[in-house]
Every structure is written in C-alpha cells, then in structure tokens.
Amino acid sequence: MIIAIERGLENLKHQLESRGYECFYIGENRIADAILYKDRVNQPYFDVNRASMTNITGSYDSHSHGAILINAEDKNIDEITNILTNRIYSPLI
C-alpha cells in the first residue's frame, strides 16, 4: 500500500515505513492508496492522485478503488494501520 502523508506528520511516516508501508509526502506528484492529513484548514490532499487515468495507465488495474482519506489527528499508529488494513474509516462517528 502506498500512502501520501501531509508534511508535519514525519513521526507517523517513519512508523508506517517501519511496518512496511511505502510513504511519500503530499505534493510529490505520485499515486497513493491512502492519504493521511491533519490540517483541516488547508486541505493539501486535493492534489494527490490528480493525474488523469491516461497518465497512470499501468499503475491502476480494473480493481482500483481510489484513495481513502484519513484524518490522523488524535489517532495512534495501531488505529491508523487498522483503518488502512480494513479500508474502513468514518470521521463522523
């Protein structure tokens, strides 16, 4: 799984990488399966996965399902990996 992470969440990035996840910072113009953010005001995650499907052919297959957005605020590494594993998250609860 490839994860885009907002700058400022470096500790979380290192923890995820140590668990085998491939991570990069939002703004590096790459494709992600999940996007972790904390800043609700600037919402930097809009630029992730912005490339058109013609530019990313081969990166996605017919079973692609977009990126899951996860607000990392007040979540520990175990909660985040559980969300990533199950692809289930509801910030409205």
Tell me the β-bridge partners of 45: none
pLDDT score at 27: 86
Q: What's the rounded mean pLDDT across residues 4-16? A: 95
Domain assignment present for residue 92? The answer is no
pLDDT score at 8: 92
- φ, ψ dihedrals at 35, nearest 5°: -130, 120
Nearest-angstrom CA–CA distance, 54 and 41: 31
**Domain with 18 in it:** 2-86
Report residue 84 as tokens. Answer: 């990533």
Q: What percent of the chain has pLDDT over 70?
A: 67
Question: With contact defined as beta carbons under 8 Å apart, do 29 and 93 qualify?
Answer: no
How would you class 18 by CB atoms within 10 Å of its CB: exposed for 0-12, middle for 13-18, buried for 19 or more? exposed
Domain assignment present for residue 93? The answer is no
pLDDT over 70 at 48, yes or no: no
Domain assignment present for residue 48? The answer is yes
Q: What percent of the chain has pLDDT over 90?
A: 44
